[in-house]
Structure 1
Amino acid sequence: MQARAHPATAAGNLAVLVLDGVVTFDLGVPLLVFGSLPDHYELTLCAPEPGAVPSSDGYSLNVDRGLDELLRADTLVVPGDDLDRPVSPATRQALRQAHARGVRLVSICSGVFALAEAGLLDELTVTTHWRAAELLAHRHPHVTVDPDVLYVDHGQILTSAGASAGLDLCLHIVRRDHGAVAANTAARLAVAAPHRAGGQHQYIKRAIPQASGQSLARTREWALRHLGAELSVPRLARHAAMSERTFARRFVEETGVSPKQWLLAARIDLARQLLESGDTGIDDIARRAGLGTPANFRARFRKATGTSPTAYRRTFSQT
């Protein structure tokens, strides 16, 4: 789920707020993704009080910057932390000041609780790890909690579910800031899927097929090589040697989205890359990405990205 009320920042200064009981996996995700792009992001760790900060794994992290970093940042990432430890009044105030200044606020997993305690999420729809969703809704009844999606983008405030969903959100931010090529570079370094849409379900019923079953990975790889062709569900099902009904069910079980949703996301991503990496004409991009007529391509691209193909190329072109 995503929105684009806040303009993409070109952005460099990115602070990560390390709270007591920080979940080390959540902390590692933004360091991995944004740290892999030093030409685009300058990373800083900060804490309510500089010094040793206890982690969820029992050891301490030395953080030498304080809350002043929140006001110097363009983007602030709040990883998950110990939910039994209240956020200090000074931290809540610093978060409110950062928000008022226009800092982009990003939470990973239970980091959303800090933003909620600062009063920044009232009347918004947000997400967190599905196991913490009920607690978040109970503590903050003015916040709408969607426990099913990977991440939610409201422009200035972005929230993600747990674990790998934080990686998806960070890659989404890179794509929004610097385009598909930069996001795919970070994804390759992280050995991650380049793009999972925010509205995809958190919980996939069968990420690894049963021993007696059949993975659709081969069919998805084949589809990615033939995005310019007519790829209907019947044709994909034939490639997988399944009935259409079985294919559609297994596809959702393995990916969390329908075949049509997956194909559209893959085609838009290919179009992004073609727009960024050369001077290929709009007609040719529409054909190679399987997005129909140029008019249809422009409409679908604008709906997916919030901008036109021409404006996107002007912003992210590598040539």
Structure 2
Amino acid sequence: MIRLAIIGAGLMGEDHARIAARDLPGAQVQVICDMDRSRAQSVADATGAADISSEPEAVVSRSDVDAVIVASPDFTHAPLSKACIAAGKPVLCEKPLSQSSAECLEVIEAEQNSGKQHVMLGFMRRYDQSYIEMRQALSDGALGRALMMHNFHRNVETPAADFTGAMAITNSAPHEFDVVRHVLGTEFVSVTAHQPRRSDARVAPVVMVLETADGQLVTIEINNNAAYGYDVRAELVGEAGSIAMNNVAYTRTDMKLASSTRYDADWRGRYHEAYVRQNRDFLRFVETGAFPAIASDCWDGYCAAIVAEAGAKALATGQKQPVTLIPKPEFYAARKGVAA
């Protein structure tokens, strides 16, 4: 039985705990950690966790914890990932690894120095069936050469009143940055970013155009005040055809001379199955030491941070910005997992 510590008992932490308790045979929620102990206790009661804590660093080093899921605020992700590396514990860290590419490099250095991969990053869209089929269609040659990939990512409203266009790039868009790299199998080399003008004070959508090293164009729209629902779509256009993601709706209502489908309020329903697949892959990683073939790692976290930094600068300056990565370390090309 793999004993898991969940750090963070907010929406994401609670979801991870529930998935571990309900959908991961062979896993046991050992401890829920949150600065709000009442919140931690509530999640522990709902998931059968044996203990709660408000000290994340102490939880990482506990002898009764085999692996860690980090779902605490973004600024804690890199320090806690480094703590897990130092403790020799596999960790599934929610995105982003860090919003700072320099801090991502610190985690990369710590992981390389350990000699093994410990950090699996929670870019769960790689496990979504739509993106899996897009990637397969491209690798099978059915679409011919990829030319463009169009993406939009819409939320009902911003999580905070002071949410900005730059925050849309650094907080929301990394999911697109990662999954597009994964589907196309290439890196971004430049980005431009633009915003239309709204009639009110709410943050307007951000639209980015990115170029890849293989000569494809990628468009990404991030609209955090879309109002009508949570909606993520993508279309991959090749020389021989295209493949597009449909809205996931399990039912349709027909009444009063009209037909309608519903949207989710947020990402949890839309990507539940992707989270389950991801977390099962993490459990196999913990059990076997073999890093999952399609999972994101620290290198992918660094790449997303670099693109986000360039995108934010492009939005601020109104000018195209280069996306410049360090050479990919052989360590990540070889996928050196934690020994079982």
TM-score, normalization by structure 1: 0.31
The one of the two structures with greater contact order (alpha-carbon pairs below 8 A, sep at least 6) is 2
TM-score, normalization by structure 2: 0.30
